[in-house]
Chain A
Amino acid sequence: MPVQPRRASESDAASETVRLSGVGFGYAATHRALRDVSLTLPAGSFHFLTGASGAGKSTLLKLLTLSERPLTGSLELFGEDVTAAPRRALPAFRRRMGVVFQDFRLLDHLSAFDNVALPLRLTGGKQADYAGDVEEMLDWVGLGDRMDDCPPSLSGGEKQRLAIARAVVTRPDLILADEPTGSVDAVMAERLLKLFQSMNRLGTTVLIASHDEALAERSGATVLRLEGGRLSGRAP
């Protein structure tokens, strides 16, 4: 595990990383993707979010990445109400997150190395300072020999691993992953799950949206279920 410890402080650990209160959201006036969702993710917790396709998992993650805002209710991140936070305030919250998108969102014109280094570069890091971390992370996800290759030349599974490496390389306070094991084999899925668990043990809050109920059960994490835009159950 290449990630160096950056333990959440005691006050962080006692606080909530995410709090949704009565959140509703819809892309069209007639259809609500999320209805009255209330949810709290304590700092350092590990949750799986499961549900059928169209249940609202990706929409909930879009709200948490601040790509969309709740139409009703409130959203707090890292103890701050961001329901109506101005656009200029968003980068500071996003820099504390690592996000694995379902469609990877890799930059096709950049090499695997530069894709993983992207969040470090955007915070003003120097290549000399982060090159070692990036290479170690790429090695860990099994892409150490593909550093100079661009995403179009990678397979779906390799792209997914690259996206995960980019999400965790900054050692974020919150990891949000949308179907992070959807394109990899069972062995790699277990390996990636261990990566998320390692990050969680170091104090990172993790929320993984997945339709893979078996993986969620095996993880031992708290499982949240979304059905028709509502949180319908919570399993230990």
Chain B
Amino acid sequence: MIGRLLRNRAPLLPRDAGGEVWLAGLIAVLCFLACLSAVGAICADRAAHGWARELRSEATVQVRPRVGETGAEAAARAAQTLAGVEGVEEAEAMDRESAEALLRPWVGDAVLPDLPIPYMVTVRLERAAPAGAVTLSRALAEAGLDATVDDHSLWRGEVERSAGLITLLAVAAFLLTAGAAAAAVAYATRAGMAAQSQVIGTLSLNGASDGAIAGLYQRRYGLLSAGAGAIGALVVMLMVAALRFLGGTEGVTPALPLAWSDLLIVSPCPLLAATVALVAARFTALARLKRGH
């Protein structure tokens, strides 16, 4: 008697070990892919924001010398003018050697001496309150300089748009993965109910409500999905930890910088997988029971 009280109650649904192992494997793979896309999106977003921040703190000015003034003199005057503008941290005229060093990887040594290289000023802006392109242009005009200011806003916009697109793609990938997991659970529920129709009939004739029978399936597949989700998330966590450990903040590439906090991003995966499975199993079971299973 005491032994029976201590013993756990047997599950009312018979085990379908073979099918459940496959389903668990499939959900673990889907959760792995979902976690991977989430981490990828966060890294891409982090990289894009880093690049945008860098671009926002710099500006480039191209100076055209006036008559009676050399290019180097005009660039030096522009640098001096810009250095006094509020929101500018530092302005420096780029000499020809520096400009040639920038171009050398693209055009080689042979043509460099013949190229009309523009006179440039690199401007480092204050991060907290950077001066805008209009302010810089006005200061240069007031100093009588013919110059064009590029505050990199074009590139910055492109980078931010790309980051937004990657985030959208990651969300779409996540939703597709969740949909695939829900479809797999729904299929497993239907197959399980078809194979266990005698059991369901017996439960029903002994007073089990449709909700109680659906609850048996949602509990079974919810727990199975939570476990599979934990495995998928754990594999991604190990990968992120290994890359972060081996590659530092840049992970494998500067395009995907990793942080230890990325490990937390995938931690809700088991809960989300269980929720998707619970909902899919419950709705599928109730629909089938309504049709007389």
Contacts and interface: CB of A to CB of B under 8 A. Distances in A.
A87 B288 CA distance: 13
Interface string B276-293: 000000000000011000
A131 B207 contact: no
Is chain A's interface secondary structure helix, strand, loop, or mixed overall? helix
Contacts, number: 66
A128 B5 contact: yes
A128 B3 CA distance: 11
Interface in A50-98: 65, 67, 87-88, 90-91, 94-95
B210 interface: yes
A121 interface: yes
Interface residues of B, number: 23
A207 B103 CA distance: 100
A113 interface: yes
B1 interface: yes
Contacts of B184: none
Contacts of A65: 205
B201 A105 contact: yes
A109 interface: yes
B210 A87 contact: yes
Task: Give the 10 A-B CB pairs with smallest separation, nearest first.
Answer: A95-B207, A109-B14, A91-B209, A94-B207, A119-B206, A105-B202, A122-B208, A91-B207, A122-B207, A114-B10
B30 to A, nearest CB: 29
Contacts of A110: 10, 12
Contacts of B204: 90-91, 94
Chief secondary structure at chain B's binding surface = helix
Nearest to A115: B202
A197 interface: no
B206 A113 contact: no
A129 to B, nearest CB: 10
A11 B163 CA distance: 75
Interface string B1-25: 1001100011010110000000000
13 contacts: A88-B209, A90-B204, A91-B212, A94-B206, A101-B205, A105-B198, A105-B201, A107-B202, A111-B10, A113-B4, A114-B9, A147-B4, A166-B206
A65 B15 CA distance: 28
B203 interface: yes
B1 A131 contact: yes
B35 to A, nearest CB: 35
B222 to A, nearest CB: 20
B199 interface: yes
Contacts of B15: 109
